[in-house]
Amino acid sequence: MTMKNPSSRLALVLLLCGAAGVARADGLADLRGALARLQAQSVLKASVQVRDWRRTGDGKDAKETQGQASIGLEDGPRGLQPLYSHELLGRLDAESHAAVKDKSAKKPLSQVMSQLGLDDLRVLASAAPALQRAIDDAQFKSESADTWAGKPARKLVFEGSVDSLSESDRKYVRDMKLQLTLWIGADGTPLASQRHFDLSGRAFVVVSFEQHSDEQRSYAVVGDRLVATSDDEKGSAKGAGEAQEYRTERSLQVLP
């Protein structure tokens, strides 16, 4: 049957647009609700693994370092506590001692351990606060039906701007692009995220720089906390005659 009344046709269009707007708003509201529920009050015991590869410089002068390590991690009434085994500490001591004798000696284990800083461990053990800050500092752009790991999901897309940088940093930035994509379940619980970041600018008039990174995380709910079971990042940076490429993979395994 053909609808001939223009006002009825317009009413239907407005109704459909309104329904789509509600659907988009509900995805963001569900995400915020899930993050608020995941307060991370339960005790967590886990092991954390990290692999890191870096290349500094260009051409034949480029230097590569790579390494891997594993630590324990606990979060409870006493706070967040990384646990370093005696074997790992012994390896670090041996590496530092070798560097005393040979100033050009590589220190791959020290390099890889620098990728398990406090902020990195906080995200692995309790990812909700970091996600909350990320969406608060970005603009919600769209929601669409999608799949993740073969299951139905909702995909939320956010975009950041140069306004997310400090005032002192903004004056050096010429161009910046930041996109955050989140996949959430039916109840708003985050399943995974991807973050793409491009930045270029100039400092002190003659020094130009650029930075690119891609980050992907997978999440799981453990008790009342959202943990990041994997946190992988790759990227590159150039500036002041220096260049670096890197790839870092972090993973968390929950222990009984």
pTM above 0.95, yes or no: no
Domain that holds residue 141: 43-254
Report if residue 114 sits inside a domain: yes
DSSP classification of residue 188: S
Q: How many domains does the chain have?
A: 1
Return the bridge partners of 146, or none.
Answer: 153
Question: Is the pLDDT at 197 greater than 60, yes or no?
Answer: yes
| Confidence at 205, pLDDT banded by 50, 70, 90 | low
Report if residue 136 sits inside a domain: yes
Please state, in angstroms and rounded to a whole number, the distance separating the CA atoms of residues 82 and 72.
Answer: 6
Report if residue 155 sits inside a domain: yes
Mean pLDDT computed over 86-103:
94
Report if residue 165 sits inside a domain: yes
Report if residue 16 sits inside a domain: no
| Confidence at 255, pLDDT banded by 50, 70, 90 | very high
SS3 state of residue 90: helix
pLDDT at 16: 39
Percentage of the chain lying above the pLDDT 70 cut = 88
| Confidence at 5, pLDDT banded by 50, 70, 90 | low
Question: Is the pLDDT at 143 greater than 90, yes or no?
Answer: yes
Question: Is the pLDDT at 3 greater than 70, yes or no?
Answer: no
Contact yes or no for 249/217 (Cβ under 8 A):
no
- The two tokens of residue 46 are 């886990």
Question: Is the pLDDT at 12 greater than 70, yes or no?
Answer: no
pLDDT at 142: 97
Report if residue 250 sits inside a domain: yes
Question: Is the pLDDT at 137 greater than 60, yes or no?
Answer: yes
Contact yes or no for 196/179 (Cβ under 8 A):
yes
pLDDT at 83: 98
| Confidence at 249, pLDDT banded by 50, 70, 90 | very high
Report if residue 51 sits inside a domain: yes
Percentage of the chain lying above the pLDDT 90 cut = 72
